[in-house]
């Protein structure tokens, strides 16, 4: 079975491509052109600069990512692991720390490009034990985000279906957005890797790493090649949830 995962973005309709696509293409062309050290390379880099300028005129992209996966665990165990916010950095490696500050509020610190700290405060909007957790960021945060995770027993008694929905607006609004994606990860990649580590931690008590795998954490050169040559990740996905809609 394959993991069920979809994403969408709500971007300016004034451009033939979304701002994220323009920025990724711009940075990729600039980097690729500069590595060629030729007249053709200079022309490619110049084209990238034009794309970057167009992207800078656009509003920051908004992303929504959805994933469903099956874990060999009870809803109680899956809920408890996710609900322990201080432990989220164990499988969400882009997070530096999560600290509960009282009530339903918490302070989150993530690491962006160049180890830049991105901070936001969040509040829990729903907390149904063993079933559902929902959250959203508070005003004046570095990033606007909201999401939910649901836990539902598999009707075939194979474990628990976990459904993750995450939406956010990237900081920066222009070239910084592209650099965040290039030096860090694409939104889909981040969620897929979080899911993979959550499943592994829940089922085995250990967290896998991407070291030694060709499409784990990548720098700008690797992302450029991936964009230009349409490479695909060979990292294993979590077990699918495609049976959920058929059997639920």
How far is Cα 41 from Cα 244, in angstroms, rounded to an integer? 49
The predicted pLDDT at position 57 comes to: 57
How far is Cα 1 from Cα 4, in angstroms, rounded to an integer? 9
Q: Please, which contacts does 142-148 make with residues 24 or more away whose CB atoms are closer than 8 Å?
A: 142/118, 142/171, 143/110, 143/118, 143/168, 143/169, 143/170, 143/171, 144/168, 144/169, 145/120, 145/169
**Host H or E run for residue 23:** helix 19-36
Question: Greatest CA span in the chain, whole angstroms?
Answer: 62
3 state DSSP class of 46: helix
The secondary structure of 152-196 as a DSSP string is EE-TTSS-EEEEEEEEEE-SSSSHHHHHHHHHS--HHHHHHHHHH
Q: What is the pLDDT along the chain (248 residues), one digit of tens a residue?
A: 335 555 444 433 333 445 555 555 555 555 655 566 666 666 665 666 655 555 555 566 667 888 899 999 999 999 999 999 999 999 998 889 999 998 899 999 987 666 778 889 999 999 999 999 999 999 988 788 899 999 999 999 999 999 999 987 765 544 444 445 444 456 677 778 888 899 999 999 988 665 444 444 444 444 444 444 444 443 345 444 433 333 33
The predicted pLDDT at position 87 comes to: 95
CATH value at residue 168: 3.30.530.20
The predicted pLDDT at position 31 comes to: 60
Q: How many domains does the chain fold into?
A: 1
**Model confidence over 96-130: pLDDT tens digits?**
999 999 889 999 998 766 677 888 999 999 999 99
Between the alpha carbon of residue 161 and those of residues 52, 129, 151, 193, 238, the distances in Å are: 41, 15, 6, 17, 11
- Cβ 147 vs Cβ 54: under 8 Å: no
The predicted pLDDT at position 115 comes to: 73
Structural domain span for residue 84: 4-247
């Amino acid at each position: 079975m394959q993991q069920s995962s979809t994403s969408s973005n709500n971007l300016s309709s004034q451009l033939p491509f979304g701002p994220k696509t323009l920025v990724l293409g711009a940075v990729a062309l600039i980097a690729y052109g500069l590595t060629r050290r030729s007249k053709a390379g200079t022309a490619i880099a110049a084209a990238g600069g034009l794309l970057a300028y167009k992207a800078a005129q656009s509003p920051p992209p908004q992303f929504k990512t959805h994933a469903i996966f099956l874990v060999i665990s009870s809803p109680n165990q899956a809920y408890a692991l996710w609900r322990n916010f201080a432990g989220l950095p164990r499988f969400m490696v882009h997070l530096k720390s999560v600290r509960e500050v009282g009530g339903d509020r918490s302070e989150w610190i993530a690491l962006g490009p160049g180890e830049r700290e991105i901070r936001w405060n969040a509040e829990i909007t729903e907390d149904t034990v063993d079933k559902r957790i929902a959250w959203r960021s508070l005003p004046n945060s570095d990033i606007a985000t909201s999401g939910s995770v649901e836990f539902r027993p598999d009707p075939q008694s194979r474990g628990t279906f976990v459904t993750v929905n995450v939406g956010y607006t990237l900081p920066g609004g222009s070239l910084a957005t592209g650099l965040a994606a290039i030096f860090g990860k694409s939104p889909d990649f981040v969620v897929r890797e979080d899911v993979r580590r959550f499943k592994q931690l829940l089922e085995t008590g250990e967290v896998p790493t991407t070291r030694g795998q060709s499409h784990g954490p990548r720098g700008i050169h690797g992302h450029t090649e991936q964009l230009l040559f349409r490479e695909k990740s060979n990292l294993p996905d979590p077990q699918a949830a495609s049976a959920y809609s058929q059997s639920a």
